[in-house]
Amino acid sequence: DAGITQSPRHKVTETGTPVTLRCHQTENHRYMYWYRQDPGHGLRLIHYSYGVKDTDKGEVSDGYSVSRSKTEDFLLTLESATSSQTSVYFCAISAWGENTGELFFGEGSRLTVL
């Protein structure tokens, strides 16, 4: 299994509070991604990173920010959580360019915003 862990795995918070989700990898892969998964929408890309301090927006980036200060960690921050951000968040890593486009996913972080 790919060495990718997410924390926390479950979180309940209130509207307006800040939340940070952490993704940690031990594979030294360059590319890291944050997706959210909601019923009826599938997986949607929030932000991604193609190297330390190199990040870009995905299709649903509003209300989210990210940081990657070292290869192994990719943080997703909700500055002021809203109920619409209740979702399951998946981090993924990839070794693109090494004969495969496979994404390895973390176990997911279930966030509930009350």
Partner 1 sequence: EDKVVQSPLSLVVHEGDTVTLNCSYEVTNFRSLLWYKQEKKAPTFLFMLTSSGIEKKSGRLSSILDKKELFSILNITATQTGDSAIYLCAVEVGSNYKLTFGKGTLLTVNP
Which residues contact partner 1 (rule: CB under 8 A)?
31, 33, 35, 40-45, 48, 50, 56, 58-59, 90, 94, 96, 100-108
Q: Which residues contact 96 (CB under 8 A, 6 or more apart)?
A: 30, 31
Q: What's the rounded Cα separation, in Å, for the pair 112 and 73?
A: 23
Task: For the CB of residue 14, give the shortest distance to partner 1 in the complex, in Å.
Answer: 26
Task: For the CB of residue 40, give the shortest distance to partner 1 in the complex, in Å.
Answer: 7
Task: For the CB of residue 76, give the shortest distance to partner 1 in the complex, in Å.
Answer: 16
Closer to partner 1 by CB, 14 or 98: give it: 98
Closer to partner 1 by CB, 50 or 63: give it: 50
Task: For the CB of residue 26, give the shortest distance to partner 1 in the complex, in Å.
Answer: 16
Exposed e or buried b for every residue in 8-34, given b needs 16+ CB within 10 A? eeebebeeeeebebebbbeeebbbbbb
**DSSP code of residue 63:** T
Tell me which amino acid residue 35 is: Y
Closer to partner 1 by CB, 73 or 105: give it: 105
End-to-end CA distance of the chain: 34
Closer to partner 1 by CB, 18 or 51: give it: 51
